[in-house]
């Protein structure tokens, strides 16, 4: 076959794929998702970095250019390594942000194929549409954090784990093992799917699954991929990096944290979904009642429909419960991996309702589905727009201070600040965080003449003594950023230490 014939054949295959209504609908949703994301991408490309973002960028600069950095076990290293590669190509934040944009689009695709694998194309289309406009997905697409990475790898891992659990595809199991290992290198909580898979196997196969060779092979693949990270972490932190990272965010009271954290997460579901869509989701959960009534059947016979319910329920619930148990504070992004299941369950109810109403009045059935989709899209995009624009210039004063210090300080100067990741990134100078006591600060000041700048701001925690120290010691204010034009409400002040 000649080259021109191959090209013609490929074009024909593409056109045949597009001509299929479901494929055309999926393509349309994907284009819609891309257009939305590109719109906000142009808006947020140069927005200031938050604390965590700046830490990842500082880590990347360490690897790319050899700048100093003290690692924290709670920060995963894979994303900074990728950023370091981009920095080596001469990029700043552009390529890392494009990388995140690609992962965000991939997460929409992943939800489509997960919904299609578990149910059918109609449910898949609805699910990926919901993910395409979901405000947490869109918002964190523009933050150099690791939550979108986690969502994407969690979703595709869930897809391939399901193919193994239902169809016994060993190849899918090994692919899932690779994906979840990579996802864990981005963010540890991506691995929250593993307890879900374990519980699923325990319920459906009791302990007999332990004898399955392919599961041990998959576990070996998972550990093999993580081994370089474990070795690096051992030498960097003098211990097992996962326990070091967990200790950093561990709650003081696990019992209280588990119930309080999960309660707070669930109480915010109307904010995540809107009340009408929350009702749809809860009715979708109600349709899974057979999971409770037929649990003995699931255990004894492994009913396929009940397996679907169990799997969706586990990959929904475990990320929320484990985030509540193991992390000492709540953030919406910590439970983002639960939403593929939430959207599939909601879509399941919508299609069930549509089929029921269609038998009586097809026009009404279509009308109700369209209204629900439009309402959900409006609610989510309104939340997206408000959140992105509201946070667009957050920490801009910290960025401006860092850039000003880069131009008005010597490379050997050290800056005292509580915004140390951001100031370090923007100023490219060494940073010293505030000690808890004034005595300790005075001791460091007397021993290090490179301490030249002192920043007080409204953006981070400061020890009490630090606010009045400049006045008590006659430090000279040399620059400031204010909340009002009259410059009576300072947000950040820079003082010169010494002459």
**Residue range 367-398, pLDDT digits in tens:** 999 999 999 999 999 999 999 999 999 999 99
User: What integer is the mean pLDDT of 463-476?
Assistant: 95
Q: Please name the helix (run of DSSP H) or strand (run of DSSP E) that holds residue 58, with its range, or none.
A: helix 51-65
Strand partners, 457: 492
pLDDT reading at 2 higher than 70: no
Per-residue pLDDT, 235: 96
**Least confidently predicted of 155-159, 207-211, 225-229:** 207-211
Per-residue pLDDT, 304: 86
Which domains does the chain possess?
19-391 (no CATH), 396-496 (3.40.190)
Phi, psi at 493, each rounded to 5°? -125, 135
Per-residue pLDDT, 300: 74
More confident call, 12 vs 81: 81
Specify whether the CB–CB gap between 416 and 453 falls below 8 A.
yes
At 62-97, the pLDDT tens digits run: 999 999 999 999 999 999 999 999 999 999 999 999
pLDDT reading at 416 higher than 80: yes
Per-residue pLDDT, 9: 76
Using a pLDDT cut of 90, give the percent of the chain over it: 91
Q: Using 50, 70 and 90 to split pLDDT, how confident is the model at 322? A: very high
> Which own/partner pairs from 384-390 qualify as long-range (CB within 8 Å, at least 24 positions apart)?
384/36, 384/40, 384/133, 384/135, 384/138, 384/139, 387/135, 387/139, 388/40, 388/43, 388/44, 388/138, 388/139, 388/142, 389/43
Per-residue pLDDT, 18: 77
- Least Cα distance to 188 among 76, 275, 57 occurs for 76
User: What integer is the mean pLDDT of 355-366?
Assistant: 96
At 25-68, the pLDDT tens digits run: 999 999 999 999 999 999 999 999 999 999 999 999 999 999 99
pLDDT reading at 135 higher than 60: yes
Q: Using 50, 70 and 90 to split pLDDT, how confident is the model at 10? A: confident
Pull the structure tokens for residue 43.
Answer: 């808006």
- Mean pLDDT over the full length of the chain: 95
Per-residue pLDDT, 6: 75
- Least Cα distance to 215 among 174, 181, 163 occurs for 174
Per-residue pLDDT, 1: 55
User: What integer is the mean pLDDT of 139-163?
Assistant: 98
**Least confidently predicted of 162-166, 190-194, 205-209, 418-422:** 205-209
Per-residue pLDDT, 258: 96
At 231-254, the pLDDT tens digits run: 999 999 999 999 999 988 999 999
Per-residue pLDDT, 499: 66
If 0-12 CB within 10 Å is exposed, 13-18 middle and 19+ buried, where does residue 472 land?
A: exposed
Per-residue pLDDT, 5: 73
Q: Using 50, 70 and 90 to split pLDDT, how confident is the model at 310? A: very high
Per-residue pLDDT, 374: 98
Strand partners, 455: 494
At 91-119, the pLDDT tens digits run: 999 999 999 999 999 999 999 999 999 99
DSSP-assigned states of every residue in 265-318: HHHTHHHHH-HHHHHHHHHHHHTTTHHHHTHHHHHHH--HHHHHHHHHHHHHHH
Residue environment code for 66-82, b if the CB has 16+ CB neighbours within 10 A, otherwise e: eeebebebebbbbbbeb
SS3 239: coil
């Amino acid at each position: 076959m000649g080259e021109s014939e191959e090209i013609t054949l490929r074009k024909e295959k593409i056109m045949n794929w597009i001509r299929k209504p479901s494929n055309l609908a999926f393509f349309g949703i994907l284009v819609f998702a891309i257009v939305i994301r590109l719109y906000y991408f142009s808006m947020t490309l140069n927005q200031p970095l938050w604390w965590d973002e700046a830490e990842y960028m500082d880590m990347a600069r360490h690897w790319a250019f050899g700048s100093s950095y003290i690692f924290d076990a709670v920060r995963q290293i894979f994303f900074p390594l990728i950023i370091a590669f981009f920095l080596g190509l001469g990029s700043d934040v552009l390529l890392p942000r494009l990388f995140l944009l690609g992962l965000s689009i991939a997460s929409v695709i992943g939800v489509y194929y997960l919904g299609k694998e578990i149910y059918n194309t109609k449910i898949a289309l609805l699910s990926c549409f919901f993910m395409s406009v979901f405000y947490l997905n869109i918002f964190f697409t523009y933050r150099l954090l690791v939550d979108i990475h986690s969502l994407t790898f969690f979703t595709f891992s869930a897809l391939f784990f399901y193919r193994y659990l239902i169809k016994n595809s060993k190849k899918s199991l090994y692919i899932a093992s690779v994906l979840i290992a990579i996802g864990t290198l981005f963010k540890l909580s991506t691995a929250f799917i593993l307890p879900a898979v374990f519980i699923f196997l325990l319920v459906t196969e009791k302990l007999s699954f332990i004898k399955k060779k392919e599961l041990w092979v998959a576990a070996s693949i998972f550990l093999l991929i993580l081994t370089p990270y474990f070795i690096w972490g051992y030498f960097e932190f003098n211990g097992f990096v996962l326990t070091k990272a967990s200790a950093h965010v561990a709650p003081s009271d696990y019992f209280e944290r588990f119930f309080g954290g999960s309660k707070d997460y669930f109480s915010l579901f109307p904010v995540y979904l809107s009340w009408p869509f929350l009702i749809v989701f809860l009715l979708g959960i109600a349709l899974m009642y057979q999971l409770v009534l037929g649990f003995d059947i699931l255990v004894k016979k492994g009913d396929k429909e009940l397996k679907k319910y169990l799997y969706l329920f586990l990959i929904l619930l475990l990320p929320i419960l484990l985030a509540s148990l193991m992390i000492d504070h709540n953030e919406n992004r910590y439970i983002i991996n639960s939403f593929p299941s939430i959207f599939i369950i909601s879509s399941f109810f919508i299609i069930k309702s549509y089929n029921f109403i269609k038998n009586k009045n097809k026009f009404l059935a279509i009308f109700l589905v369209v209204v629900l989709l439009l309402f959900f899209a409006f609610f989510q995009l309104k939340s997206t727009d408000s959140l992105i624009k509201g946070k667009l210039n957050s920490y801009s004063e910290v960025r401006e201070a860092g850039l000003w210090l880069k131009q008005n300080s010597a490379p050997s100067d050290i800056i005292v600040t509580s915004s140390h990741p951001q100031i370090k990134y923007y100023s490219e100078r060494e940073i010293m965080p505030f000690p808890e006591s004034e005595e300790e600060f005075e001791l460091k000041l007397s021993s290090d003449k490179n301490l030249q700048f002192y920043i007080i701001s409204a953006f981070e925690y400061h020890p009490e003594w630090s606010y009045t120290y400049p006045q008590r010691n006659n430090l000279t204010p040399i620059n400031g950023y204010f909340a009002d034009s009259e410059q009576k409400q300072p947000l950040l002040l820079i003082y010169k230490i010494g002459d």
